[in-house]
Amino acid sequence: MDAWRITWFTVAAAALATLVMLPPGLAIAWLLARGRFRGRVLIETLVSLPLVMPPVATGLVLLTLFAPRGPAGRLLGAAGIEVVFTWKAVVLAMAVMGLPLLVRTARGGIEQVDRRFEEAAATLGAAPLRVFLTITLPLARPAIVGGAMLAFARALGEFGATVMIAGSIPGATRTLAVGIYSYAETGRDADAAVLVAISAGIAFVALLSANWLTSRSGARA
């Protein structure tokens, strides 16, 4: 049955997208929470842009950038990597759309870490990266995990950007959200309904865990 393959692909792509966005997401969250530099508001705005822009527009921007003749696409093409209309495009769309949720939640968690712990670690000889890895990250962990869950849930439902840059190729780039649209469009209502039910189930579990984790981090602070 196709539905299971689509489900598996969607969950795997969303999980991979979450992993991909963690390093840049945490770095940006830390910069926004602790950095004192010009252009902070600009970075914050840029990162959050996909939250408010029509996802299709974000998708078109990505398509322009990563198309074989686009600036990023040309670089990747030279390395033999093709992105658009492959599974990599699905992951890319999901990562870009999920990033704002991860950054915003993680940033809140990092801001709540008492600076005295970080200062104490610094006076004990820990350089900034060590302070971040051994003090800030563990203390902000509930919020970071919660943010990652939110981003994962968002990635699972990604439609607009995905359809622009990855299309709806059965067995290659078709995700749950895109599949629902394709099935409904071609009159396969029963197949679409199955995907809807699966989506709802997964989203429910993901959101529930995200809320549980973020509320726990709030209670701790």
Q: Given the rule CB under 8 A, which residues bind other proteins?
A: 114, 116-117, 119-128, 134-135, 138-139
Instruction: Select 126 or 203, whichever has its Cβ closest to other proteins.
Output: 126
Output 125 or 187, the one with its CB closest to other proteins: 125
Q: Tokens 């393959």 sit at which residue?
A: 5
- The CB-of-25 to other proteins minimum distance in angstroms stands at 21
| Beta carbon of residue 130, minimum distance to other proteins (angstroms, whole number) | 8
Minimum CB distance to other proteins smaller for 91 or for 140: 140
Structure tokens given for 218: 């709030």
Query: Tokens standing for 183?
Result: 């099935």
Q: Residue 121 Cβ, how far from other proteins at the closest point, in Å?
A: 7
Q: How far is the CB of 117 from other proteins (least distance, A)?
A: 6
Contact 213, 145 (CB under 8 A): yes
What amino acid occupies position 124? L
Angle at alpha carbon of residue 138, lines to 135 and 139, rounded to 5°: 75
Q: Amino acid identity of 15?
A: A
Question: Considering beta carbons, is residue 40 or 115 the nearer one to other proteins?
Answer: 115
- Write out the DSSP string of 136-169: IHHHTHHHHHHHHHHHHHHHHT--HHHHHHT---
Polymer length of the chain = 221
Min CB(114)–other proteins separation in Å: 8
Cβ of residue 19: shortest distance to other proteins, in angstroms? 23
DSSP H helices in the chain: 2-34, 40-52, 55-66, 71-78, 87-111, 115-123, 128-131, 137-139, 141-156, 160-165, 176-185, 189-220
